[in-house]
Amino acid sequence: MRGEQTPRLREALEDDIVAGRLKPGQRLDEVGLAERFGVSRTPIREALIQLSSSGLVEIRPRRGAFVVLLGPRELIESFELMAEIEASCGRLAVQRMGPSDREAISDAHETCRIAAAAGDEEAYYPANARFHAAIYAATGNRVLAGEALRLQRGLQPYRRLQLKVPRRVEASFAEHQGIVDALFAGDGPLAAERLRAHVLVQGERFMTLLAALHAESEALEDAG
């Protein structure tokens, strides 16, 4: 058997969680995963520990690993943190972005426009992630950008549920347009404020959706 299994396993599990194939609350059986990936429990355990540190998985001692299921309070708080980080990124990006950064932002924005015009929510999703990532990168601060990406990934499983909110894509794209305008106009504070509002309103929309879902059924609870 050759080396370096753990990173591959971590990425595979991370993708499964972010893509929603492993649902929040679900238990991750070490033996089952080991068999599925054709390795022993050791690298699986190490991958799970990494995922727990990055916040996608929760390890309860002697109980096992579970895909993290954020409660309402933690969700609100996470969106607020995300909003603050994104606002900072916007302000710094205005100060520092170069031509290639502008281009990356424009490109991602156009991809969003196409997906939004087509009403294609599945396509809008990754385009939206790319749009925000382009802003992070434009700060020129890799540590900050890495942090932002990490948080973005952590919230991805929950954003997925938002697909059901009507007219979400149109609203999101309109907000993106305002952000791009402020960024390219060189108005840092305005870009920051619009990014903050964009993320916070996403969070609010999400909480509304969650409340509605919770009212009609306990679907999330049964997910495990």
Q: Is 175 in the site for a second copy (CB under 8 A)?
A: no
Q: Show contacts with DNA in window 61-90 (CB under 7 A).
A: 61-65
- Alpha-carbon distance of 161 to 172, in angstroms, equals 15
Residue 28 β-bridge partners:
65
Cβ-based nearer residue to a second copy, 54 or 111:
54
CB of 78 to a second copy, least distance (A): 5
- Alpha-carbon distance of 134 to 186, in angstroms, equals 16
Gyration radius from the chain CA atoms: 19
Q: Is 77 in the site for a second copy (CB under 8 A)?
A: yes
Q: Hey, how many other C-beta atoms are within 10 angstroms of the C-beta on 29?
A: 14
94 binds, among DNA, a second copy, none (CB under 5 to 8 A by kind): none
Q: In what order do the strands lie in the sheet with 57-60?
A: 27-28, 64-67, 57-60
Cβ-based nearer residue to a second copy, 83 or 169:
83
CB of 171 to a second copy, least distance (A): 25
CB of 194 to a second copy, least distance (A): 16
Q: Is 42 in the site for DNA (CB under 7 A)?
A: yes
- Alpha-carbon distance of 209 to 202, in angstroms, equals 10
Closest to 197 in 3D by CA, of 183, 176, 212? 176
Query: DSSP per residue over 147-195, as a string?
Result: HHHHHHHHHHHHHGGGGGSTTHHHHHHHHHHHHHHHHHTT-HHHHHHHH
Q: Show contacts with a second copy in window 84-103 (CB under 8 A).
A: 84-85, 87-88, 92
Binding pattern for the stretch 4-33 against a second copy, x by CB under 8 A and - elsewhere = x--x--------------------------
By CB under 7 A, name the binding residues for DNA.
1-6, 28-31, 39-43, 45-46, 59, 61-65
By CB under 8 A, name the binding residues for a second copy.
3-4, 7, 45-46, 49-50, 52-54, 61-62, 73-74, 77-78, 80-81, 84-85, 87-88, 92, 141-144, 147
